[in-house]
Amino acid sequence: MFPGNVDLGSRLRAAVQAHVGGRLAEAETLYREVLRVAPSQFDALHNLGVLKLEQRDHEEALELLRRSLAVNPGAASAHLNIGSALRDLKRPAEALESYNRALAIRPEYPQAYNNRGVALRELGHLTEAVDSYRTAIAGNPDYVEAMGNCATALLELQRYDDALEVAEHALSIRPTYLEAHLNRGHALYSLKRFPEAIAAYQDALRNGGNANEIRYYLAALGVESTPVSAPRSYVEGLFDHYAERFDASLRGLKYQVPEMMFEIVSGASPGAGRDVADLGCGTGMCGQAFRPMARSLVGVDISGKMLDKARERGIYDHLEKNDLATFLHEHPVAFDLLVAGDVFIYVGELEAIFASARRSLRANGLFAFSVESSNDGAVAIRPSRRFAHSVPYIRGLATQYGFAEKAIIDVAVRQEEGQDIPGFIVLLGVDSGGSAPPSDNGNWQTE
């Protein structure tokens, strides 16, 4: 404890200096010393809450910021930072309310408009998000972070020319701004201005972009070698953002792979009572099709938000966030049927998957999956950023890993821009000389 208001003020100033200087442990100690003497000191409560946000201790940050707001309900900055804590806690609707309260107190508050846009985007209100970002930019014409967010939302709205304009404006202000280089590349790619997109992605790489992801984009455009698989961060991010509209989008593309796979499997091997793993289960479209033949149904995916949507269907006995090869390797001789609908288009080389699948299947087990057709070699990456595979490649892997070919059937896996995308559905089997099933089949607990 220390006496007197002068000491209190000096400690608070020292805490702020340490905080601004990045000495967070020192700043926290000083803020807490102030609060021991003056538990309702607004600046100490608020600044310590901001510090806890920076340390990603979101629950304590929220508690401290709410205490500061109780001291000063008219502090717009406290409402703003409470919104940030709620966003970090995956509570975007409540975050939006906090940002609106900040703006009611301070109508001209660019940061609140930007953060409000982020919450609106997370809630799926993309047009409103763009409007909020544009208001932030109008209030601060050099606010390149708001421009980056605005361009991202415009890309999701498929307003590619508008996204390109915003990204290029951001780069005119800050030429090294990575997000703007990426957004410019994405917009040019979507506009099929591929040479310019290549240059934009190369600029992003020079400005510190994720090398694995950017080289993957460049490989799809033919200027890098074909990678082994899509980067996990790319696939996880893509489907986390896509989860809410995934099913509706695929219906619009005349996607019927789950139904076609079920027809092929049930035609070759009718019956129920099987332990089934839905690999890359997404929102559960394949699981829905195969539930009638399953004694137990397990879904695995690397996208947490896709798994959340799959959980809503109520059809799975177990859902797991994991990559496919690891999951299969960890569950030997566990399944009678493995299904993977439109999953290997993001995997590329399939050797590890085949090895793990063979290990995971029981005697007489089946492995059913779809792929896009490649006429450009065993494994090719397309401008769509998806992999395609050849029939000889699949047949070679089947022989190498001890599978019997049951069926390979040409299909249209979906449509793009009104055109069928050629692919094939594969059904492979493990003969009766394969591994025996385990003595205990009760592997999965109903969720």
Residue whose C-alpha is closest to residue 384's, from 254, 216, 152, 240: 216
The fold for domain 5-220 equals: 1.25.40
Please tell me the predicted confidence (pLDDT) of residue 271.
87
**Cβ-based burial of 283 (10 A; exposed 0-12, middle 13-18, buried ≥19):** buried
Task: Report residue 319 CA to chain centroid gap.
Answer: 17
pTM, whole model, 2 decimals? 0.85
- Crossing angle for the helix pair 178-190 and 194-206, nearest 10 degrees? 160
Mean confidence (pLDDT) of the chain = 92
Q: Please, which pLDDT band fits residue 238 given cuts at 50, 70 and 90?
A: confident
240-429: same fold as 5-220?
no
Question: In angstroms, rounded to a whole number, what is the distance separating the alpha carbons of residues 335 and 365?
Answer: 7
Domain ranges within the chain, ordered by starting residue:
5-220, 240-429
What secondary structure, in 3-state letters, does 338-396 show? EEECCCHHHCCCCHHHHHHHHHHEEEEEEEEEEEEECCCCCEEECCCCCEEECHHHHHH
Is the domain 240-429 a CATH 3.10.180.10 member? no
Pair 386, 342: CB distance under 8 Å: no
Please tell me the predicted confidence (pLDDT) of residue 436.
38
Q: pLDDT tens-digit profile of 329-378?
A: 999 999 999 999 999 999 999 999 999 999 999 999 999 999 999 987 89
Q: Which one-letter amino acid corresponds to residue 274? A: R
Q: Residue range 422-447: average pLDDT?
A: 64
Q: Residue range 106-135: average pLDDT?
A: 96
Q: pLDDT tens-digit profile of 126-185?
A: 999 999 999 999 999 999 999 999 999 999 999 999 999 999 999 999 999 999 999 999
Q: Please, which pLDDT band fits residue 431 given cuts at 50, 70 and 90?
A: confident
Please tell me the predicted confidence (pLDDT) of residue 434.
45
Q: Please, which pLDDT band fits residue 417 given cuts at 50, 70 and 90?
A: confident
The answer on pLDDT for 439 being more than 50 is no
Question: In angstroms, rounded to a whole number, what is the distance separating the alpha carbons of residues 438 and 327?
Answer: 17
